[in-house]
Amino acid sequence: MSWLTDYVRPKLRGLLQRDVPDNLWTNCESCGQMMLVKELEKSEKVCPHCGHHMRASARERLEWTFDDGEYTTIELPKMPVDPLGFKDSKRYTDRLKDARAKSHLEEALVVAHGRIKGQKAVVVVMAPEFLLGTMGAALGEAFVAACRLAVLQKAPLVIYTASGGARMQEGMVSLMQMPRTTIGVQLLHEAGLPYIVVFTNPTTGGVSASFAMLGDVHVAEPNALIAFAGPRVIQDTVREKLPEGFQRSEYLKEHGMVDIVAKRSELPELLGRLLGLLTRQKKSESGEAAA
């Protein structure tokens, strides 16, 4: 053994194999480019290379939306945890415990109130980090509670949708939330309050077939998947090749189901403007009706 083997090689290996934190870098899921996590957080999780809007947590969306990131959350209504006693490869109650531990949320939806560009608003954010944002009885009841809060505060309601659809572990109970949540939207309409839906990727299944499609204005982030059944299911059913960009934000805007496609950084300003315009319009309509 020479001094090169005994001394120099270990030193060089130590220099080359310095520990690098696992959470320092990440790759864009669209273009594959590597970027610093801190830089990605500064850009609100939008890839600086291709503009792809990555998945964001419920807390992040609230901080980006409200003025100075200041808001107040409400406690969600308590609901039966496992109405069907469901079990597949794992007990449903265990899945819920894991989801709560990982996300630090009680359910796949967060309700908060505060101001957006000076406009008072109640904001609902669906959390894809909690069982893919699936809709069960607790989520349906929480959405109705948000609508009641908006009526109580006489404030518009904004919702960021992100969901894999109905929660299969609750069976028919989950599907019943589709008409249940439309009752909440009706409460807003009867009170003359604006209701704005912001579609994020993905918004699918029972959510897209109920309260997500009932907004006064539909805004969407770029290239978000918005659908009831996914494109692969539809293509296998109709046995035809689907148009390019089918069921994406831009395609739905061209076909009248989405009003505005906006980048994430533009949303607070856009929402503030829409809330101001719609609030004045609703007041004017209610004044004319009274006259």
Answer yes or no: is 147 a known binding residue: no
Residues 69-93: b if buried by 16+ CB within 10 A, e if exposed: eebeeeebeeeeebbeebeeeeebe
Answer yes or no: is 50 a known binding residue: yes
pTM more than 0.75: yes
Domains and CATH numbers, the chain: 22-54 (no CATH), 55-278 (3.90.226.10)
Greater model confidence, 237 or 163: 163
Query: Percentage of residues in the chain with pLDDT exceeding 90?
Result: 79
Sign of the alpha-carbon dihedral angle for 161, 166, 167, 173: positive
Contact assessment for residue 216 and residue 194, using Cβ atoms and an 8 Å cutoff: yes
Measured distance CA(122)–CA(154) in Å, rounded: 10
Q: What is the pLDDT of residues 75-123, one digit of tens each?
A: 999 998 899 999 999 999 999 999 999 999 999 999 999 999 999 999 9
